[in-house]
Structure 1
């Protein structure tokens, strides 16, 4: 059988590649990621496609192009495994939701379009509705998530998409694992949840003199290799439905402290700890936001007997040993040959949360770090400055276009200018989302200055209370030039699209639209020239 894995370069994807490479029932694997890993084990077991399922879309047609690219990669595939999930940058909520919820929607649509029979999706314990007890829950427990956790809220939204996919005839299996721990995830988990401030050596088991923990905390764990074995069994057996995946025992505060600090813990009420965590997150001193604490304190204990009974699944690692292995990997900076799983090269620069880089700030990963969203073949700083400058121009341009559309609303050109103003506004949002997706510095102060400059420009009157008749002519010529400059950025991005994992057709279509917009401005220019130079008065 042929299997496609979306998000194959992450922690679970890496473990699944290990599990499938020697599976006799699987004879071909397609790996899909926004950054393709090095051709080293286990990544050499797959044929790779670079596709960004979180790509922003300026309109429905652009969204369809992303789905079409996925569908092309899925053709001839018997089973699609959807593992891709974005945890950072957790300050960019729309980006995270687009990757997680819209990304899942795109995968489902591509499966249906390509005729894939079986979708296996990574859900989570975080999808479950919160509880205030320790009674084990099976897979029938509601999946409404934890509202204050972006991770849990998106997992609950994903569950609704999977419900809908089942009604449309797609065979769906959803695995709801506990926290996934193993040594290879050490460097990645440190970046995602700890951040750059804490010296990693303090995470080595037994190193801390005492560990502060939320009072009443309990958690379930599964080793990455054991989770991958559960996925393998679902894929090969064609299983459907939901499966809780967790190892024994349930870890409580005393168990965690026994590994971290020889049993010495300081129990802190969650209501006291939450504002402290929130402040630390706001100050960029810790990577995890308070939603993770809310989820940790309220997710149910899972009953994973169904997986043991129906899949024959039996974990080989207990929860305590998986926790100890992870902490050792975090201290050592362990990782693999993929960008998200890369080993830590230095501290603190290579322990920053993904995407949490302040432009021109003192703490940044090295320019050649594989942690950057852009591939090393592209000049990240130069491309970031280029896109930021175009975004600055677009910020001022949107306001000018809206003003022009209002000024000429009663003319024959009114409808075309109104459409143009709406298009330019959407394109500006799209460009901003693209800059966020590519994780290049946006330099928002420049956009703010451009907006203020456009407002100040309205005060120019050339000595006339109502302004000069020549002003609209010059302004129209300026905007026509700006539109052709915008065409240039779309053409540049079309040329770079294969390196970015984005559909080139989206940028080609935007370049063609820029030509149409310039034509509208040309007609406006011809209209106002006579008003300015024939019927009007020139200073």
Structure 2
């Protein structure tokens, strides 16, 4: 399902400086720095003149050519993860095992134990700030979430191992801030919950939608009137930079709302809920593709998902099932969130609107199609 990134690799020239106020400064470690969000974050930090180390499983010579130091390792390698923290003032923990299906043990090892190793590395090497990329799925409860805020409790029952293990890791990250203060460590932490990251260069969300639609395998689940939040890639990067700055200002002469982010989690979206299937069909129409018309009830989709899960589990099939109970719920129910806490504590304000971002995405996708023709 992957599409190439914006130009197949990071451009020789880094992006122009961000319009945001200067970030905290100092050396930064970015785990998962070759993924969609991680790469854009690395580019932003390099453009600001920051020393950046990237920890990832795959090499990134283009990022190295732009000045990044590279550590090739997975989150399963506790020693390498902890060692990569040496010399960093801020760690952006973006890497994770993602997906809607797989062995719980695999997700736990990467998402929980990997995060735990990173926290230990931060303490051992005197890292001052850790910004953790979480997910809104950590509050999954199987119900509609309309305007939900951070008062929701973390999930303890979900049919997918990804939200469960991310919730466990988020809890440890947030607790580490208070524990560090009590133990005399300098480490302050914050968790961000960006929802459905998309934009030009997206290798995940939009390509998967287009692939399934073109193959005739996309169905509207439920009544098609569920609303969801998304977050444009540049807004997601903004949130990470702002979260770092909020941690840096914690305890100092902070302005209104600043200094209160340590140990907390924040939803990060565009703040513009859309009807999911209207947005998908609008995108398809703009690209000259037929809109999705065929429907499946949520009850039927959930039943199909349960059957698929059983078959994949019993037969030990590789890859993800075509439908799961978790995916059925996500495609049929409301899940949009309040970003008032992020506005208040981080100074977050989405810069790229849904309309602007969608227009840019459509233009880019058409350009990519022309190049492939």
TM-score by length of 2: 0.71
| 2:62 counterpart (39, 44, 47) | 39
Aligned equivalent of 2:192? 175
Q: How does 1:391-410 map to 2 (within 5 A)?
A: none
Contact 2:198 2:206 in 1 (8 A): no
Q: For residues 77-135 of structure 1, what are the alpha-carbon distances to aligned partners after superposition, in whole Å with 9 as ceiling and x for unaligned?
A: 11111011112593343222211121111111111121112111011111114263454
1:232 aligns with: 241
Match of 1:256 in 2: 280
Contact 1:245-1:304 within 8 A present in 2 as well: yes
Q: Which structure shows the higher helix fraction?
A: 1
Does the aligned pair in 2 maintain the 1:223–1:322 contact within 8 Å?
yes
Partner Cα distance (1:289, 1:311) in 2:
35
Q: CA deviation at 1:210?
A: 8.9
2:145 and 2:107 map into 1 onto residues whose CA distance is 30
Contact conserved, 2:101 with 2:320, CA < 8 A, in 1? no
| Unmatched runs of 5 consecutive residues or more in structure 1 | 56-65, 335-344, 346-539
Question: Which contiguous aligned blocks of 4+ residues in structure 1 show a shift greater than 6 angstroms?
Answer: 327-334
Q: Which runs of 5+ in 2 are unaligned?
A: 1-25, 181-186, 248-260
* 1:306 Cα offset (Å): 2.3
- In 2, Cα distance between equivalents of 1:185 and 1:39: 18
The 5 Å alignment of 1:69-108 reads 69-88=80-99, 90-108=101-119
**Whole-angstrom distance in 1 between the partners of 2:267 and 2:99:** 25
Alignment map for 1:492-511 (pairs within 5 Å): none
Whether 2:51 is the aligned partner of 1:28: answer yes
Superposition pairs of residues 486-525 of structure 1, within 5 angstroms? none
Tell me what 1:315 maps to.
350
What's the Cα RMSD here? 3.6
Aligned residues: 314
Structure 1 position 29, deviation (Å): 0.8
Which string of whole-angstrom CA distances, capped at 9 and with x for unpartnered residues, describes residues 164-204 of structure 1?
Answer: 32342131111111110123123x4478x57xxx857828x
**2:268 maps to what in 1?**
245
> Which whole-Å CA distance do the structure 2 matches of 1:274 and 1:45 have between them?
48
Q: Look up the match of 1:130.
A: 141
- Paired position in structure 1 for 2:222: 214
Query: Are the aligned partners of 1:12 and 1:83 in contact in 2 as well (CA < 8 Å)?
Result: yes
Structure 1 residues 72 and 307: CA distance shift in structure 2, 3 A:
same
3-state DSSP of counterpart to 2:273: strand
**Cα deviation code 1:302-355 (max 9, x no counterpart):** 100222233332223233554676677778879xxxxxxxxxx9xxxxxxxxxx
Deviation at 1:273, TM superposition (A): 1.6
CA 1:79/1:99 → structure 2, altered by over 3 Å: closer, same or farther? same
Q: State the match for 2:36 in structure 1.
A: 11
8 Å CA contact retained: 1:180, 1:222: yes
Work out whether residues 54 and 95 of structure 1, in 8 Å CA contact, stay in contact via their aligned partners in 2.
no
Once residues 112 and 209 of structure 1 are traced to their aligned partners in structure 2, the CA distance between those partners, rounded to angstroms, is 48
Partner of 1:273: 301
Residue matched to 2:214: 202
Counterpart contact for 1:5–1:30, Cα < 8 Å? yes
Structure of larger gyration radius: 1
Shift, 1:251, TM fit: 1.8
Rate the CA distance shift 1:32–1:150 in 2: closer, same or farther, 3 A. Answer: same
Aligned pairs for 1:360-375 (under 5 A) are none
